[in-house]
Structure 1
């Protein structure tokens, strides 16, 4: 019988292998500076944009930490700040075409990585693994505030 600590470490190692391969491919495809935390932030910005405060809440970090992430992503060309059409006093963080590109490429790479797992383990086993994990994860899914949780 496996030790109790092995399961979370194996789950994390599987996650890490996906993320490491994703970032290696993204670097080859013109996105060498994007980091795992950036992916969470870009997802949290979403297609409609977000204020720095909203971004912080979505990521589970302070508004100041979210602001620093936005500054970094802005320097890298993944987001831009624009006036909020609903409230001229606020600034919205929005994805740039480069930000959309990295998310689109990431989705395609994740699909290829999953396909490799299917090739090795079979569709039935991978599907069962995904179903079992969905059953065990509180709330039925992944939360973007993992970045804040890791940093706590």
Structure 2
């Protein structure tokens, strides 16, 4: 195990990924709260990350976010009540409804991305840009192989 990992830090990849994700998500949550979006939760990221300007059905959001349909439907319901998304009829299939970001919802992604970039820069300063790039590259390659 890496000597920089203390005896109190678990060395399991899953635990390390979860703890780092919590750090990252916490930084994004803090930035959103400071900008007046304190009602946005980490679970909502599955919607803000994937909804394109032309909208998307809940079933497609479910597939992209890799969550259960019931979970995604609940998340979309919450965001609709909070005014971040709206559902409209599909222009190509009148039986289907698409999820769109409202003007308020469209403000989230750039704020979250900026907070994420600041966090990555802080992490690069701690471990070195090359090491952080290598970690990201390795994780991206692994994910790509798993998704084939």
TM-score, normalization by structure 1: 0.79
Q: Per residue, is there more helix in 1 or in 2?
A: 1
- The 2-side partners of 1:5 and 1:118 are apart by 20
Contact 1:80 1:93 in 2 (8 A): yes
| 1:121 paired residue number | 127
> Which of residues 113, 138, 143 is equivalent to 1:138?
143
- In structure 2, runs of 5+ residues without a counterpart are none
What is the aligned partner in structure 2 of residue 77 from structure 1?
83
Q: Is the 8 A contact 1:70 1:79 kept in 2?
A: yes
How many angstroms does 1:59 deviate by?
3.0
Structure ranking higher on relative contact order (CA contacts 8 Å, 6+ apart): 1
2:20 aligned with 1:19: no
Residues 1:10 and 2:16 aligned together: yes
- List gaps (5 residues or longer) in structure 1: 143-152
- Equivalent pairs, count: 141
Tell me, in whole angstroms, the C-alpha distance in 2 between the residues paired with 1:59 and 1:124. Answer: 29
